[in-house]
């Protein structure tokens, strides 16, 4: 996608736009606003929700008010985060407004300082980063289709964590579907994913990521972030969950495009 997107759309005259873009412009409300102005029906969430959900800290503030728990954390400049430990390790540093786990760093016990990359001139992922407590345990995710949470998948990887490579490289991660977790935790994840979807005003398909620590008091589940335009590749989680629930990939795509509209 380039800055001539409006011209391309005007020439194409599409009946609807299936928005499969990720990250800045495509997922943060900008393209959604352009499509609204042009009167082109589009998929997934609208302008306000897309913009809000792209800001991780503001998303957490809204969801906490709705009863969705998330790790302790705060936003700071990347230079401040690079200058020394912002909290007692282990903790996570991530760009506050990016997707696909790009630029995420886990600072572990014994690390002398955060990575120098944060203060580098080559850093292009925004000046604000979210620093939050690292939650030990298991990575869980739930896709929501309209008003229906699909199921819970556990994600495991041999890499340091579930980063960009683990998400998109073949064999980068393993998906346990359905997750082998206690029924009460499964129900909790399904409920929280639907609550997050509704509280943020999401439309179409979303996917919420969680950390579950079996050793924590009351077996706590923490919300990490929501994906308002989940991946639709051969290694993606949402089509996999849909198939598990009896919705084929063609049917999923058809449902998403039939749901397209303006003023979302």
Contact 244, 150 (CB under 8 A): yes
- Which residues neighbour 61 within 8 Å (Cβ) at sequence distance 6 or greater? none
Read off the pTM.
Answer: 0.86
1 is a domain residue: no
- Quick: pLDDT tens for 22-78: 888 999 999 999 999 999 999 999 999 999 999 989 999 999 999 999 998 889 898
- Of 103 and 212, the one with more pLDDT: 212
> 30-38 and 5-12 are packed helices; what angle lies between their axes, rounded to 10 degrees?
40
Which of residues 88, 116, 133 is at a domain's end?
Answer: 133
Which of residues 115, 133, 151 is at a domain's end?
Answer: 133
Contact 66, 89 (CB under 8 A): no
Predicted pLDDT at 253 = 96
Q: DSSP label at 42?
A: B
40 is a domain residue: no
What SS3 class is residue 77? strand
Task: Indicate whether 236 and 148 sit together in one domain.
Answer: yes
- Nearest-angstrom CA–CA distance, 263 and 255: 18
Which of residues 110, 133, 156 is at a domain's end?
Answer: 133
- Quick: pLDDT tens for 203-229: 999 999 999 988 877 658 999 999 999
- Of 239 and 83, the one with more pLDDT: 239
Task: Indicate whether 188 and 235 sit together in one domain.
Answer: yes
Q: Which residue reads 């994600």 in tokens?
A: 155
- Quick: pLDDT tens for 133-166: 998 899 999 999 999 999 999 998 765 554 445 4
| φ, ψ for residue 168, nearest 5 deg | -115, -15
In terms of Cβ atoms closer than 10 Å to its own Cβ (0-12, 13-18, 19+), residue 32 is buried
Q: For the residues 119-127, what does the mean pLDDT come to?
A: 82
Half-sphere exposure of 174 (CA within 13 A, CB side): 7
What SS3 class is residue 199? helix
Predicted pLDDT at 99 = 59
- Of 101 and 115, the one with more pLDDT: 115
In terms of Cβ atoms closer than 10 Å to its own Cβ (0-12, 13-18, 19+), residue 259 is middle
Predicted pLDDT at 163 = 45
Structural domain of residue 232, as residue ranges?
Answer: 52-64+136-258
Q: Total domain count for the chain?
A: 2
Task: Indicate whether 85 and 184 sit together in one domain.
Answer: no
């Amino acid at each position: 996608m380039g800055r001539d997107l409006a011209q391309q759309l005007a020439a194409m005259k599409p009946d609807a736009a299936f928005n499969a873009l990720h990250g800045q412009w495509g997922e943060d409300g900008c393209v959604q606003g352009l499509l609204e102005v042009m009167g082109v029906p589009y998929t997934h969430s609208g302008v306000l929700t897309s913009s809000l959900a792209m800001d991780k800290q503001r998303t957490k503030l809204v969801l906490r008010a709705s009863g969705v728990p998330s790790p302790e954390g705060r936003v700071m400049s990347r230079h401040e985060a690079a200058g020394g430990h912002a909290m007692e390790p282990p903790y996570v540093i991530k760009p506050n407004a990016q997707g696909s786990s790009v630029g995420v760093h886990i600072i572990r016990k014994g690390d002398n300082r955060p990575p120098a990359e944060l203060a580098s001139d080559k850093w292009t992922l925004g000046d604000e980063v979210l620093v939050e407590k690292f939650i030990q345990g298991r990575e869980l995710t739930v896709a929501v289709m309209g008003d229906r949470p699909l199921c819970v998948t556990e994600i495991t990887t041999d890499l340091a964590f579930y980063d960009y490579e683990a998400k998109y490289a073949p064999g980068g991660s393993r998906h346990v579907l359905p997750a082998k977790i206690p029924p009460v935790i499964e129900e909790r994840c399904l409920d929280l994913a639907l609550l997050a979807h509704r509280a943020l005003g999401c439309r179409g398909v979303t996917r919420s990521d969680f950390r579950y620590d079996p050793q924590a008091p009351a077996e706590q589940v923490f919300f990490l972030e929501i994906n308002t335009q989940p991946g639709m590749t051969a290694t993606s989680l949402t089509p996999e969950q849909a198939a598990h629930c009896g919705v084929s990939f063609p049917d999923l795509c058809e449902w998403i495009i039939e749901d397209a509209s303006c003023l979302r």
